Structure 1
């Protein structure tokens, strides 16, 4: 029974297998037919696409409508270009084909003349006679451009015109002239030669005037506002020396001579400041305002009458100092007015007085 069932099952299985084979064979054929049909269609499609591609590639009529701007040639005109040969001929042309002028190459002021050779140029550059050194240039550049003297270094002469040059108006410089040709000088009616040095600072001036024959020196200044301050004489050691003068004694007065013989000479002098000094001693004359001992010359007289007390002789008045009173007038009179020694009033009267004349 079992075998019968098994055989029946095998039969059934074989039948099913046969059905499956039949179905597979049918499907396999259909698949192969479909595959071959697809291959045929694909080959046709490829041939057609290749045809269109080849046709597009061979299309020279700008199928994409590309413009000259899109390829960076927007400014190029659609005109005929020169051939390479024409271009080369133009490049190699040396006869100024564009008619360029010298002005166009910034040489309009250059003359058509022969230029120096490099050797000539170098020789000129190295010529130390024609060219100055940097040291000389620096010296010149740093030099003063205003002439203070003549080219020789001497002072500048002023015009020989009477009262012609105002010293105060001169610019900075070093000058010389005789006094009669100058005005606003520290002296008047002076024909001596003068050296004049003027230094300026904006509106201010220092003016130095030196008289050559006696070395007298004056200085004057013009202040910032243009005002002339005046002349001042510069005093030197030699100016402190004075000249002593001996007067002519009058009214019976004599030079006092002591017993020891040491003469106390009567004399007078005047210093640079105008101070007159009288020294010495007299005797035996007549006292009084109308009987001068001597008379001072002009220039040595006081600006007002002066009175002085001096030493008188003590002879006849043992142990008692004596004095006298002297009057000096603006007319130059030097008079002994009074003596305290009534016994010997004119035995000895000494001078030692100083006064100003200006």
Structure 2
């Protein structure tokens, strides 16, 4: 902008209109320059202001502390509506009645704080003395030598009424066997081994040692025996060529596979030499496990074929 001062009047100047016109013209020229500069300044100011407003990167470096937000964390906060919605949601919050109900639902732990057994019954302890000291439900472990125990180391659960005179104990050993013992009016029952379907259907068969010239009739009919979980002994197979008579055992069943009292059994015998006439034999199983072929109706070939297929409860 070019601003010039008007020509001053001198005392030597003669009064003339042109002198005044020069001054007026210069003032008008100055006014025009000032107006143009003002317009340009306003334009530049507007452009700068608009550019400054559009900047979002904190051009002046203002901090949280400078505006009184120094303690505010830089995370999204819940709105008032969101806060009210959470506050009024009764599903998320425990009421006083619910808290009292839950606190009163269990007076004591059924396990130790680490989740293991709460009670250990040592070899010097007696099941029937230790367990009634705990009413309700507890988890325990026990040594195999503990008095009035199932005879093996177990883990189990004891549940009892408030007086400790009615209850039952369920225990499990490492062989996957389950035992039960009950208490009624202060009186204990013996331990009972609980039978599973698997133990009833899965049997291990054994082959006895044949005696007194008896042999297996064939590879497919070898004599064998087993015992299921109910204590029932099964004997099957077929033998041949041995000695028949009283006190002459064909084989002997081991302990645990013997009857509580002697019994006799009648089975099929060979018809060789006596064709067309059904033949039979009679055997005896005594309490010592001896299996004796006492008699055969086939008098021509009595030991040609003796079929075995009987069962009994073990002692």
Structure 2 residue aligned with 1:234: 194
Structure 1 residue aligned with 2:53: none
Name which structure has the greater RCO, CA cutoff 8 Å, separation 6+. Answer: 2
Report the 3-state secondary structure (helix = DSSP H, G, I; strand = E; otherwise coil) of the residue aligned with 2:189: strand
Where does 1:58-77 land on structure 2 (aligned, <5 Å)?
none
1:166 is aligned to 2:111: no
Where does 1:272-351 land on structure 2 (aligned, <5 Å)?
272-351=229-308
Larger Rg: 1
Q: How far 1:133 moved relative to its partner?
A: 6.5
Structure 2 residue aligned with 1:52: none
Structure 1 residue aligned with 2:147: 183
Structure 1 residue aligned with 2:159: 199
Equivalent-residue separation in structure 2 for 1:216 and 1:157 (angstroms): 21
TM-score, structure 1 normalization:
0.56
Q: How far 1:145 moved relative to its partner?
A: 1.9
From 177, 182, 187, the equivalent of 1:216 is 177
Q: Once the two structures are superposed, what CA deviation does each residue of 1:56-105 show, in whole Å capped at 9, x if it has no partner?
A: xxxxxxxxxxxxxxxxxxxxxxxxxxxxxxxxxxxxxxxxxxxxxxxxxx
Q: How far 1:143 moved relative to its partner?
A: 3.8
Q: Once the two structures are superposed, what CA deviation does each residue of 1:242-262 show, in whole Å capped at 9, x if it has no partner?
A: 2111001110001102xxxx6
Structure 1 residue aligned with 2:12: none
Equivalent-residue separation in structure 2 for 1:219 and 1:177 (angstroms): 14
Equivalent-residue separation in structure 2 for 1:169 and 1:253 (angstroms): 56
Q: How far 1:277 moved relative to its partner?
A: 1.2
Structure 2 residue aligned with 1:149: 111
CA contact (8 A) 2:121 2:127 kept: no
Equivalent-residue separation in structure 2 for 1:166 and 1:357 (angstroms): 28
Equivalent-residue separation in structure 2 for 1:178 and 1:229 (angstroms): 20
Q: How far 1:266 moved relative to its partner?
A: 0.3
CA contact (8 A) 2:269 2:302 kept: yes
Equivalent-residue separation in structure 2 for 1:306 and 1:348 (angstroms): 21
Q: Once the two structures are superposed, what CA deviation does each residue of 1:41-69 show, in whole Å capped at 9, x if it has no partner?
A: xxxxxxxxxxxxxxxxxxxxxxxxxxxxx
Report the 3-state secondary structure (helix = DSSP H, G, I; strand = E; otherwise coil) of the residue aligned with 1:238: helix
Report the 3-state secondary structure (helix = DSSP H, G, I; strand = E; otherwise coil) of the residue aligned with 1:351: strand
CA contact (8 A) 1:168 1:184 kept: no
Q: Once the two structures are superposed, what CA deviation does each residue of 1:147-203 show, in whole Å capped at 9, x if it has no partner?
A: 22111222224154x3324245311411113212x2211x23x3x3x1121111233
Report the 3-state secondary structure (helix = DSSP H, G, I; strand = E; otherwise coil) of the residue aligned with 2:199: helix
CA contact (8 A) 2:166 2:183 kept: yes
Q: How many residues align?
A: 215
CA RMSD in angstroms comes to 2.1
CA contact (8 A) 1:206 1:222 kept: yes
Structure 2 residue aligned with 1:256: 217
CA contact (8 A) 2:121 2:141 kept: no
Structure 2 unpaired stretches of 5+: 1-92
Equivalent-residue separation in structure 2 for 1:206 and 1:333 (angstroms): 41
